[in-house]
Amino acid sequence: SPSRRAKSRRPPPIEFSEAVDDATDPGETIPAEGDPPDSRPQATDAAGSASPSFEKSDTAPQPGAPDVAPGSTSDPVARALAEAGLPLSAAASADPSPDAQGWVTCGDLRVKGGAYGVDFTYTPGAVQYNGADYGTSDVVEVLTSTPLVFSDAAGHSKDAPGATGIQVNPGVHADITLNGVHVSHTIPLNIITDCTSTENGSKASDSTQLQTRTELYLVVSDRSDNSLSSHENYRPGIRCGEGANLTIDDETRNIDSAGNEVVPVGGIINHETTLIGGKHLKKGEVHTTLDSEEPGSLTVEGGYGASAIGGGMAETGGRITINGGAILARAYYGTKNTDTGAGIGGGAGGEGSDEVITYNSGTIEVHGGYHGAGTGAGCWLT
């Protein structure tokens, strides 16, 4: 039988705002050749090149309109990126015009809601953060809390997933609905921790020092099918690490008419209330009354050493709440000789959450790696 692999030392924890890079430190151990390869479809992350499906505006400049340099404060793309603390990596792209139904095509995804260059922007090339290459490319960056709906662009589907990811920028409280989204990417959905939101602006060493947590309220559209699959080692399908919050819900949002979250106690609605969508709940009803009648599905897969939803390699998960939807979270399974992440929670060597993981309703199926928890911590072999 194969021998148990030994590691010379545990790698340092992931820096909050940084994506997990492939192991290049001699002290880190990469998967052994005997480990089973990832059999899922592999997609190429075309760093530095625009996706062919990115549509530029055909609108010519209006007579008498001033020329606006991409870096000027009058340019909405540049202004939005500057406010988000990110470089002008997307400013050179044209401002796409919505189609007749209001969709803007960004790489392999379509986006509806908000304004391009103000609420979201498309970065086809390498993403940079704090002046350095972040390690991902081809993403739609979410810049504000304006509700956005995402769907596959033409030519992409469950059988032909796209390669454009979604990135919630540091400090943003995003509201995103997935309505038929299928992505295979380095980190298909990345909620970036605002690691410098400390009292003095220095980089935090743990999430207790943060004054702002990046947040995402993610809605799975009713009757829709969605999948987010990481095709690289150490990367989760949905990254929600320390200092970040993620709530997954169906279209019947667990929020009352006053804007408060409705939380069942012991699986029971403990007081009469009306949801923001108009549905009336009676005291004593079971938690399933919070669910949509035809909830959509979301399948999330993590790469080697990462969780499916939560932290990457050696990264603790953030605050994760599931209120609805048919959710399947599957970590890379591995073997008895591999480091594995949780289905929902921490990557290999990471704790489950820096706060709490809560399941209020919905249908949830979770698979940890060979040694990782279904929900909770990942496993690190020594």
Same domain, 122 and 111: yes
Q: pLDDT by residue (tens digit) across 310-366?
A: 999 999 999 999 999 999 999 999 888 788 999 999 999 999 999 999 999 999 999
Mean pLDDT of the chain: 79
Percent of the chain with pLDDT over 70: 74
In a domain, 199, yes or no: yes
Same domain, 332 and 208: yes
Same domain, 194 and 278: no
Same domain, 144 and 270: no
Contacts of 344 (CB under 8 A, 6+ apart): 307, 308, 309, 310, 317, 320, 329, 357, 366, 374, 375
Q: What SS3 class is residue 76?
A: helix
In a domain, 239, yes or no: yes
* H-run or E-run covering 77: helix 76-83
Contact 195, 152 (CB under 8 A): no
Residue with tokens 């075309």: 46
pLDDT of the residue at 303: 94
Phi, psi of 77 (to 5 degrees): -65, -50
What is the rounded average pLDDT of the residues 151-178?
96
Q: pLDDT by residue (tens digit) across 268-291?
A: 888 889 898 888 889 988 898 888
In a domain, 11, yes or no: no
Q: How many domains does the chain have?
A: 2
Same domain, 166 and 283: no
Residue 349 structural domain: 99-259+293-376
Same domain, 362 and 333: yes
Same domain, 321 and 244: yes
Number of H helices, E strands in the chain: 1, 23
Q: pLDDT by residue (tens digit) across 1-54?
A: 333 333 333 333 434 444 333 333 333 343 443 343 333 333 333 333 222 222
Same domain, 204 and 346: yes
In a domain, 71, yes or no: no
pLDDT of the residue at 288: 87
In a domain, 233, yes or no: yes
Q: Which of these, 174, 61, 81, lies nearest to 121 by C-alpha position?
A: 81
In a domain, 60, yes or no: no
CA neighbours closer than 13 Å in the CB half-sphere of residue 151: 16
- Weakest mean pLDDT among 54-63, 89-98, 189-198, 324-333: 54-63
Same domain, 297 and 349: yes
Residue where a domain terminates, one of 290, 305, 339: 290
Transcribe 356-374 into DSSP letters: -EEE-SSEEEEE--SSS-S
Same domain, 280 and 333: no
Contacts of 317 (CB under 8 A, 6+ apart): 240, 241, 242, 307, 309, 310, 311, 342, 344, 345, 346, 350, 351, 352, 353, 354, 357
pLDDT of the residue at 129: 73
Amino acid at 233: N
The CA distance from 349 to 237, in Å, is: 17
Same domain, 330 and 239: yes
Q: What SS3 class is residue 249?
A: strand
| DSSP structure class, residue 204 | P
Q: Which of these, 77, 135, 142, 83, lies nearest to 109 by C-alpha position?
A: 142
| Structural tokens at position 28 | 């880190």
In a domain, 302, yes or no: yes
CA angle 51–233–337, rounded 5-degree value: 160
What is the rounded average pLDDT of the residues 113-141?
87
Residue where a domain terminates, one of 290, 306, 329: 290
Same domain, 201 and 311: yes
Residue where a domain terminates, one of 290, 305, 331: 290
In a domain, 297, yes or no: yes
